[in-house]
Amino acid sequence: MTTGKLWDGRFSRANDQVMEEFNASIGFDIRLWEADIEGNLAQADALRQCGILTSEEWSAIVLGLQQVGQELADGSYRPGPDTEDIHMAVERRLIEIVGPVGGKIHTGRSRNDQVALDVRLYLRSRVGTLIELVSQLQTVVLKRAEAEVDAFLPGYTHLQPAQPVRLAHYLLAFFWMLDRDKGRLRDALRRADEMPLGSGALAGTAFPIDRELVARRLGFARPTPNSMDAVSSRDHLTETVSAIAILMTNLSRLAEDWVVWSSPAFGFVELDDAYATGSSMMPQKKNPDSLELIRGKSGRVFGDLMALMTIQKGLAFTYGKDLQEDKEPLFDALETADICLRVLKGVVETAVFSYERMRAAIEPGMYATDLADVLVRRGLPFRDAHRVVGELVAKAIARGCSLVELPWEEFAQASPLFKREDVSALSPAASTDRRNVFGGTGRNAVVQQLTLARASLKE
């Protein structure tokens, strides 16, 4: 009895139908079809180079592969559930088009090094897209920051009002987080930039394939130096999904801020209707579902990372079928980050800030550090200045007024170093502009940051 496979003469019985479904990966690795066609074309070139394929055979196979690619692209070829994976789907259709010579394409190659190649090619393409999407989000954030240099809002620690900051400074904090995310993705790509084809099942190919030439043809920096490592290691996938998980953490943190900010209690920002939803019951509601979904999907990507690490942690060298399970977490992480970046770009681009609500939320007590700094500049040790102003804060709380509403006599009694103008001159602009140190929230420092951010994007 035949098994229904293209190549296997070892077995006398076909797989049980349940086993066939269990073993198949075509339902998700169909995403690799472009990479598989590209890898097969490189394999055909390598086989011609070392004399396994004649020029006529090579030409027929190349034309056949191009046809398979076109059919997969336009949907005229749809591999059925009986096709185990994308590699067999492409090879089966190639043989149908060009005849038995199509079976030569797998000479000196295993599906182990084939899938390792396909995933690296796919990774390169999709991570490149993610890097571009991060840059697009950075561009929108930078544009908003450029327009908000003179807008002020409360800065928070422990979600408690802390000190006034410029809105541009807040937005640029997110810009630099994204910049590091982009760097991590680039680093992951750099370490994945090795070509595994020619590694065979685990011991390398027995045919004189010029792996350096194949690597150059496919745009890799070099071939993998060890065949066992090449077919069994997936740390480049783990590193990539780790970078994506950190990216999602950063997206989730901005989402959390803006979910809070969009509530009527804060009212700092209103999302465009295109990125909000209503309630099925309460007509007045405007829910920030775009941001809540980004926040929620971060947990999904964390699960993808944990799945990848768990799949690999006890896997003996070299290849095990366990590694079929590496693709769905990878695909999910890439696709989730992709849509989240696109949505957040639209959210940031169209959101409307309420400058009045932000400024009104800057409580007078947030100038406490400014008053302490005044005393320090006049010679008082900071710990003493901190105590003096802390006592004034306590008096204001006891009186039921703000710090700046205390009678002048209280300030004069607290320290002879105070002057009347120290209190009357307090403002968000004055407070922030005392912090013009590099990286600070002062106007000059923020303008400097904007220049650095523009330069970073140009790189």
User: What are the residue numbers of the active site?
Assistant: 158, 279
Report how far Cα 237 is from the mean position of its chain's Cα atoms. 13
Q: Which residues contact 392 (CB under 8 A, 6 or more apart)?
A: 368, 371, 403, 406, 410, 411, 414
**Pairing relationship of beta strands 222-223 and 194-195 according to DSSP bridges:** parallel
Taking alpha carbons only, the member of 339, 347, 251 closest to residue 299 is 251
Q: How far is residue 15 from each of residues 19, 77, 81, 85, 253, measured CA to CA in Å?
A: 6, 24, 14, 15, 49
Q: Which residues contact 421 (CB under 8 A, 6 or more apart)?
A: none
Which amino acid is it at 386?
Answer: H
Cβ neighbourhood burial of 215 (10 Å; 0-12, 13-18, 19+): buried
Kindly state the tokens that stand for 451.
Answer: 């220049």
Q: What angle do CA 244, 248, 254 make, to 5 degrees?
A: 150
Q: How far is residue 72 from each of residues 66, 67, 96, 103, measured CA to CA in Å?
A: 10, 9, 14, 19
